[in-house]
Structures are given as structure tokens and as C-alpha cells.
């Protein structure tokens, strides 16, 4: 269901029950009451060991149904940087506004005359924000083109990327690490996250490490092997530094060092150094690897106004949200965030509404406005978060613990609660919490971490049989050392037998 057509009914009793402890927090009654416990001793001790003061922390633990006062409330009203827990705002807004079955489409045109396996014209692909147009799905798209009889394109491959406005920022702006995949910028036509996986595997017989790449890039020299370091007793250590990689030339990848044999097989994810040419290079290489011929080039352009020949449909939003939250995928979150402002006729549900790109490309400001209006109507008339790009990869984004609690409680009472909860990492089982030392399967929680930020938010399965909401934000120079304190907080919440 999209924002423009939403009708929200909030009877006063239902609203009071859904907001529960958050309403008490707003009223101030429970904040001043001795019945709200102090920070648990184990948590406070762990924070002290990490040299993190209590005034750098916000904590809330409360009943998911909001029917009782919070079990724990510490600085709940202070806006904090939530890191990747901000993805909860983006993904729940998407589930609520678009629905779990929502999907993206990527229209394709054979813009010319097909004769004897030759397309006398252009192959046109239009991007409408698909967050998961990975290499395998791009192969399926091109396979379908070949299934229509095209073996040679006697023209160009035209990529229409107008649906999203170009960003003014660069991949290095956030932390000076442009080759980290988490810094890839959103794109209306996002091929394979503009990244690659390099796998290094020792070959002791040949005394080299074989290098495999999950994607090929046309016009880029990519070494198939690097020398193997076999010094006896040498530890693996910093194998990336040992390789002495140089990616400054987009047309040539260089490894001037060697690979330690003691490392075994390693996988190095890498964002391509020239993201502007990634789509053209990867698509051309894939097309040619499938036996296809191309007389022209791959370039940006404009899609025809005629109906598309076919559409490649994305996985559902439910599947996308799971990838975003389980593995904290930043660029996928930003794709979904921008898609909240995409006109409905450009989604898979609105194919019949006609082809073409939005008259006004979607900007971050447009998406921010959608999220803010949704929050004020659906979550709370107060405590609206400060949203930057919707992924948490930002120094500007802010939300209070009580704002996050309200979102979790409203989501818990909604029809899409199972979809949101199942998308969150399970403690000690999967996703970003697979290596957690807390009680396995005791909670579904979204993690968040940046330099000087550590966060947790989600649902805890308490010993009492109750479902609790837990929110924890740490904003401090020593935040990276806060993990034991957050584990202690989770363990404290899990042990709640109804007497806390």
C-alpha cells in the first residue's frame, strides 16, 4: 500500500495500547518513577570497563505490546546516531507503504528490426531501482534477449538510469574508503552492487595463488594468478597488504606483492574503482561471454515511449528486506529508501500504466519527505527521526530510543510484523549476529556500528514468555568496546521472568 492512498484509523484506546510505555515516557510519569529500574549492574560494569560514561548511552527495554511500563529506561528521549539500526525505519516504512509482495521491474526494449539473429538497432534497458540486479539476474535478462532470437546487436546497448537523480556525493566522502562495497552509491540501474568478489586460492604445485573474479569487466586487465609466499611458519596476517594491490587505473588491476600460502582460500569484496563505467564494462563482458556480438557500445540514454518487449521482475520486497537487515546491506537499503518516492506506475504492479521514466527523477529529499509524513501519521506525531539516506551509513541521521521503541511497538501490532521480525538477525544463529556470545536464538535484533557508534534494536524473547522490545544506542569514542555491555543488556532482558 502506497503512502498517497493510505487510510489510517487510530481509535484512542488502540493508540494508547500500541504506544504503551512510549506514551508513559512522553507523559513523564514513569521517567520520574522509582519503578523504572536503573541501568543493570552488569551492563553498567561492562560500560565502565569500556570507559564509556552513562551519558553517552541510551537504553530502553519495554513490553512489545506496550501494555506495561518499561523495564528499563535510560536517556530515552535523546536523539542519537543509530548507525545501521536506521534500516529498521526504512524497511518497516517500505513494508507498511508498499507491502511485502512489492517488486521492481526492469523494462527491456528491442529498439529496431530483428533479422536473421541480428538486431538492427539498439537494445535498451531501463533501471527503475531494482535493489538486487545481481550478476545472475543480469545473465537471465540477456538470456531472455537471446531467447527472442538476438545473437548480434548491430547498434548500441542503451542504459536508461534517469529514475533516480544523480547524487552529488562521491564514494569516498563518508570515510575515505571508496573501494569498500558498503560505500557504493544507489543507482536506478544498479548492476551487481558495482562490486566484485576476488577469490584467492593457493596452488602449491604451480607456486601461485589463483585469482577468480565473480564478474568480468570489459577492457580491464585482471591478473589470473599472483606469486605464492610459502615461507615456513609465516602467519597469514594482513594478506591484503601483502598483495600490494593497486586499483588506481580502472583498466588495469595490479598485485605487486604475493599471497601467503598459510591463508588458505580468502575472498576479498571490492567496489570497482570507476563506478561510472561499471555497468557498461560488466554488461558488455557478460554479453560477449554468452556468445553475443555487439557492433556498437554500451552507453547511457533514454528508453523509448513504446511498450517494453519484456520486464525483468525483481524478488519481492520481503526477500529484499531480509537481505538488507540480516546482512546490513547499505546500498540495497538506499535503493529501497529512494523507491519510496518512486511513482507507482513504474513498479511491477503498475506495468499497464505505461513506459518511460519519472518526469522528475527521485531525490533523497523526496524520499525523506515520504518517510517523515509516514512517520507522523503512522508512528507518532513526535520523535520523527532525522533521515539522511535511510541506511544508517551517515553522520547526520538521528533517532531517539523512545522513537525507535514506538516504531517497534507499532510494527509489532501490524500485519507485517512477521515479515519485519523474520528479516532481523537471530542472536547466535545468522546474519550480523551469528557470532554473538549472548544466548542463541534469544532475540531478533538489528545491529549497527560505525566509528564511535554501536547500536542494537529489535525484539527479545524473554524467559517469562513475553516479547520485549530492546533499544540500545552508544555514541562515544570507545563505542567499539561496548559489545560486552550490549551482550549483558540482552542477557538481562532475556532473563526477565516477569519480575523485572
pLDDT tens-digit series, residues 312-367: 999 999 999 999 999 999 999 999 999 999 986 566 554 434 455 666 899 999 99
Q: Quick one: pLDDT at residue 356?
A: 58
Could you give the CA distance from residue 19 to residue 412 in angstroms, rounded to a whole number?
Answer: 11
φ/ψ of residue 426, rounded to 5:
-95, 130
Q: Quick one: pLDDT at residue 27?
A: 37
The predicted-structure confidence for 119-147, as pLDDT tens digits, reads as follows 999 999 999 999 999 999 999 999 999 99
Supply the mean pLDDT for the chain.
90
Could you tell me the three cell numbers for 318? 520481503
Q: Identify which has the larger pLDDT, 36 or 178.
A: 178
Could you give the CA distance from residue 486 to residue 480 in angstroms, rounded to a whole number?
Answer: 11
Kindly report the pTM of this predicted structure.
0.90
Q: Quick one: pLDDT at residue 1?
A: 40
Give 211-263 as a 3 state SS string. Answer: EEECCCCCCCECCCEEEEECCCCCCCCCHHHHHCEECCCCCECEECCCEEHHH
End-to-end CA distance of the chain: 39
**Domains, the chain, ranges and CATH?**
3-99+359-494 (3.40.710.10)
Q: Give the sign of the dihedral formed by CA 389, CA 390, CA 393, CA 398.
A: positive
Q: Identify which has the larger pLDDT, 235 or 466.
A: 466
Q: Identify which has the larger pLDDT, 25 or 174.
A: 174
Q: Are 299 and 156 in contact (CB under 8 A)?
A: yes
Q: Hey, how many other C-beta atoms are within 10 angstroms of the C-beta on 160?
A: 22
Q: Quick one: pLDDT at residue 35?
A: 52
Neighbour-count burial for 449-460, b at 16+ CB within 10 Å, e otherwise: bbebbbbbbbbb
Q: Quick one: pLDDT at residue 364?
A: 97
List beta partners, residue 461.
Answer: 467
Percentage of residues of the chain with pLDDT beyond 90: 83
DSSP class of 426: B
Q: Quick one: pLDDT at residue 36?
A: 54
The predicted-structure confidence for 161-172, as pLDDT tens digits, reads as follows 999 999 988 888
Q: Quick one: pLDDT at residue 38?
A: 82
- Can you give the C-alpha Rg of the chain in angstroms? 25
Amino acid at each position: 500500500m502506497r503512502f498517497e492512498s493510505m487510510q489510517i484509523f487510530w481509535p484512542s484506546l488502540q493508540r494508547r495500547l500500541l504506544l504503551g510505555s512510549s506514551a508513559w515516557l512522553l507523559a513523564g510519569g514513569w521517567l520520574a518513577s522509582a519503578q523504572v529500574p536503573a541501568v543493570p549492574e552488569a551492563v553498567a560494569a561492562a560500560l565502565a570497563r569500556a570507559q564509556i560514561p552513562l551519558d553517552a548511552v541510551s537504553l530502553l527495554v519495554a513490553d512489545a505490546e506496550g501494555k506495561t511500563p518499561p523495564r528499563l529506561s535510560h536517556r530515552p528521549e535523546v536523539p542519537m546516531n543509530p548507525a545501521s539500526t536506521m534500516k529498521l525505519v526504512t524497511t518497516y516504512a517500505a513494508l507498511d507503504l508498499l507491502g511485502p509482495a512489492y517488486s521492481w521491474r526492469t523494462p527491456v526494449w528491442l529498439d529496431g528490426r530483428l533479422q536473421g539473429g541480428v538486431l538492427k538497432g539498439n537494445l535498451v534497458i531501463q533501471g527503475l531501482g531494482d535493489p538486487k540486479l545481481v550478476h545472475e539476474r543480469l545473465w537471465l535478462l540477456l538470456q531472455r534477449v537471446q531467447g527472442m532470437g538476438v545473437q548480434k546487436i548491430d547498434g548500441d546497448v542503451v542504459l536508461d538510469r534517469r529514475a533516480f537523480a544523480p547524487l552529488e556525493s562521491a564514494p569516498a566522502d563518508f570515510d575515505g574508503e571508496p573501494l569498500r562495497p558498503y560505500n557504493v552509491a544507489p543507482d536506478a540501474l544498479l548492476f551487481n552492487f558495482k562490486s566484485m568478489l576476488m577469490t584467492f586460492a593457493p596452488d602449491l604445485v604451480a607456486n601461485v595463488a589463483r585469482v577468480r573474479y565473480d564478474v568480468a569487466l570489459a577492457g580491464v586487465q585482471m591478473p589470473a594468478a599472483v606469486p605464492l609466499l610459502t615461507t615456513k611458519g609465516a602467519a597469514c596476517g594482513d594478506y591484503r597488504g601483502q598483495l600490494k594491490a593497486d586499483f588506481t587505473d580502472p583498466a588495469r588491476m595490479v598485485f605487486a606483492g604475493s599471497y601467503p600460502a598459510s591463508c588458505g582460500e580468502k575472498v576479498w569484496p571490492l567496489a570497482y574503482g570507476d563506478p561510472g563505467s561499471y555497468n557498461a564494462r560488466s554488461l558488455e563482458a557478460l554479453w560477449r561471454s554468452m556468445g553475443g556480438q555487439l557492433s556498437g557500445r554500451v552507453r547511457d540514454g533514454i528508453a523509448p515511449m513504446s511498450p517494453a518487449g519484456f520486464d525483468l521482475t525483481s524478488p519481492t520486497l520481503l526477500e529484499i528486506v531480509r537481505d538488507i537487515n540480516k546482512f546490513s546491506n547499505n546500498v540495497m537499503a538506499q535503493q529501497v529508501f529512494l523507491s519510496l518516492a518512486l511513482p507507482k506506475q513504474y513498479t511491477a504492479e503498475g506495468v499497464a500504466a505505461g513506459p518511460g521514466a519519472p518526469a522528475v527523477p527521485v531525490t533523497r529529499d523526496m524520499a525523506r519527505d515520504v518517510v517523515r509524513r509516514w512517520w507522523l501519521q503512522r508512528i507518532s506525531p513526535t520523535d520523527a527521526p532525522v533521515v539522511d539516506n535511510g541506511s544508517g551509513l551517515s553522520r547526520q541521521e538521528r533517532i531517539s530510543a523512545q522513537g525507535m521503541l514506538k516504531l517497534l511497538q507499532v510494527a509489532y501490532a501490524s500485519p507485517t510484523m512477521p515479515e519485519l521480525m523474520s528479516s532481523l538477525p537471530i542472536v547466535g544463529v545468522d546474519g550480523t549476529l551469528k557470532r554473538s556470545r549472548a544466548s542463541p536464538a534469544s532475540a531478533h535484533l538489528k545491529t549497527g556500528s560505525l566509528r564511535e557508534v554501536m547500536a542494537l534494536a529489535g525484539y527479545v524473547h524473554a524467559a517469562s514468555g513475553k516479547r520485549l522490545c530492546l533499544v540500545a544506542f552508544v555514541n562515544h569514542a570507545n563505542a567499539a568496546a561496548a559489545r560486552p555491555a550490549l551482550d549483558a543488556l540482552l542477557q538481562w532482558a532475556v532473563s526477565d521472568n516477569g519480575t523485572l
